[in-house]
Every structure is written in structure tokens, then in C-alpha cells.
Amino acid sequence: MSESSTPPVRSIGTLEAAAARVLPAAVWAYVQAGAGAEDAMRANHDAFRRRTLRPRALTDVRSLDLSSRMLEDRLAAPLFVCPMARQGLVHPDAELATHRAASDAGVLSVVSTLSTRSLEEIAASSPQGPRWFQLYLQPDFVASRNLVERAERAGYSALVLTVDMPVLGSRDQLLEHDFVLDADAPVGNGAPVLAPSRPPVGERGHFHLRSDAGATWDVLDDLQSITRLPVVVKGLLTGEDARRAENHGARAIIVSNHGGRQLNGAPAALEALPEVVRAVGSEVEVYFDSGIRRATDVLIALALGARAVGLGRPVLWALAVGGEAGVRRFFQLLTTELATEMALTGRRRLAEIDRTLLGAERW
């Protein structure tokens, strides 16, 4: 194979190391950083590594169906791209490349409020691709409403409200590199759009945050009053909060600890998943992100009740290594791997993936 035809992403297993070689140290720290001592991030990985799968033999697996649905959007596989800010730090084509590649793979994109490119540009880059818009509440609700209205006009089919970020988590790696996001990466959705508050500077034990940190569950009612889009709540880890979200009209929940980037003492998101699924039953769709790296992780999350699974850092790694072609290749590898693992465990369609797939834990 000639050098020009060599795929930018050879395998999922080498992707992280390949990205580390091409990104500047400070940007790599931004991509990789977890909260504090990164205990929550490690817990995410350990939760998957502990679990085993129970393969079933002599099942006719000549035909495999990975197709899925998230609310009204039909997908080729139960996967979505997590909302990730400022992808222009990783590759100049930024979210345009990610959305085009995901669309080609039949994967849903959740586009961040803090995208490098505007939400309109991203939508136009692949108009038929399934896409949702992620909202960080702004200090002025009028600014939040403007973002929601723009997303609705641009053809986004759901609104994802991130609720685990009243303040930006403390991230040691960013402090070590003196990395300041606002200065290094402007936001494509306009100068008035603000990122979540940084850790506050206090005096004699008193700290104050912006007005958006005072949001309560009523904000779900406020959002539903201004949009026809279904509201999805991202960042829940307890059954109590899942029920509150349901009571306030959320159509779906994303169980997530923000990839271990917010609260260092948070549980692994995978450990919280069964509690949330039990709390809302079949009334609200439950999705999952945080710690997904391989197809076996996808299977485990689906077996524990997730309807679909979000990818974060691996997508950025693929973007860094190969741009749009890299992300496209990543999804080709991941969906092929998922089909392979389904065949090896005797599951022909997603409906056959349940708790009977899970074996004893390794430790």
C-alpha cells in the first residue's frame, strides 16, 4: 500500500498514542485532562475493565442488525458523538469534519454550544445528518433562548441541556500547562456566548458564581415553553435526579460524569447507569457516555440499559490524526468491531443485548 493510500487511523488500539504524537502538549492536556487527581476518569475505565461477557455458541449470526433510534432519529448504529467544545484546537476543519464523518456513518452528532464553528455552519456541512444541539445555560436567559431558536431554525432535532457544570471542574493538567480556553480558542457561535464559570476566586470563605449557576429544575419548564424541540438532560448520575428530569418533561437522559472532567469524587458513570434506568423505566430514553473506548464497552453499556452510547475523546483522537477521514475511519472500525463482538456473543440485534450478556466481574 502506498503512503498516500495508507488509512490515517490504522486501528482503534493505537489511536490515542498517534494523537499524542501530533498534538501540542497543552492541547493534549486539554483533550485528556480529568478533574483533580483524575480518580473519576480512572473509575470510568476500571468499571468497564472489571466486567466480562458471556458468549452464546451455535447461534445463527449470518445477519446482524446494528440499527437504532434516538428519539425520532434513526441511526445505523447505537452511537452518538458527544458534545465537545472547541474542536478547532485539534484540527482546522473542527466540527465540520466530525459532523460530516459521523453523518456518513449514520451516527448522530451532538453539537456543543462552545463549538469552534457556528451551529449553522455545522448543520450546513451535512444537512441530512442527524444532529442535536447541546446547550450551556447563559447568564441571561435571552441569550440561551437565542441559541435554542437558532438551533431550531438550523434543523437540529433535539436540545441537550448539560446540567453537571454550574462551575468548571478543577483540572490539574490544565493548571500545569497554564492553559486558558477563552484566550486560545474563540467560540464560533458568537462573542456573547459564554463558557461555564471558572472555579471562583473567593475571599475569607465566601464565593460567588454567575447567575446561570443558580438554575433549578424549573429551567426545563422554561426551555420547553420556548421550543418545540424535545429536551434531553445530560449529566445525571442518580435515580432521584432522573425522576426529577422525567417529572419536568425531559424526553431522554444521558448518564454521564462528563468523562471524569468535572467532579473528581463522582462515581463511574457506568456504575450509575442501572440506578437511572430503574428510576425511569421505559418512560424516558436513557443514553450513556463516559469511558467508552471499544465495542465491548458499547455492549456492556447497552446490556446495562442504555439505548445508545456516546463517544468523546476517541473522536478527538481520530480528528487529530486524520481529520474527517480519520473520524470516518474510526467509525468504520468501531461499527465493524461492534458487529464482530455481537456475532461472537450470539446477539443478532440490539434487542437481544441485555443483562444476560454480562458475566462475573474480574475483581
- Start-to-end C-alpha separation, the chain: 43
Cα 360 to Cα 363: distance, rounded to the nearest angstrom: 9
Taking the CA atoms of residue 120, residue 122, residue 124 and residue 127 in that order, the dihedral angle to the nearest 10 degrees is: -120
In the three-class reduction of DSSP (H, G, I as helix; E, B as strand; rest coil), residue 349 is classed as strand
Cα 160 to Cα 132: distance, rounded to the nearest angstrom: 7
Residues in the chain: 363
Cα 112 to Cα 95: distance, rounded to the nearest angstrom: 9
Q: What is the DSSP string of 236-255?
A: E-SHHHHHHHHHTT-SEEEE
Sign for the CA dihedral angle at 294, 319, 107, 166 comes to: positive
Residue from 38, 272, 319, 7 nearest 169 by CA? 38
Note whether 122 and 115 are within 8 A (CB).
Answer: yes
Note whether 167 and 197 are within 8 A (CB).
Answer: yes
In the three-class reduction of DSSP (H, G, I as helix; E, B as strand; rest coil), residue 282 is classed as coil
Looking at the annotation, which residues are catalytic? 258
Cα 107 to Cα 299: distance, rounded to the nearest angstrom: 16
- For the chain, the farthest-separated pair of C-alpha atoms sits apart, in whole angstroms, at 68
Q: What are the phi and psi torsion angles at 36 (to 5°)?
A: 50, -125
Cα 7 to Cα 277: distance, rounded to the nearest angstrom: 39
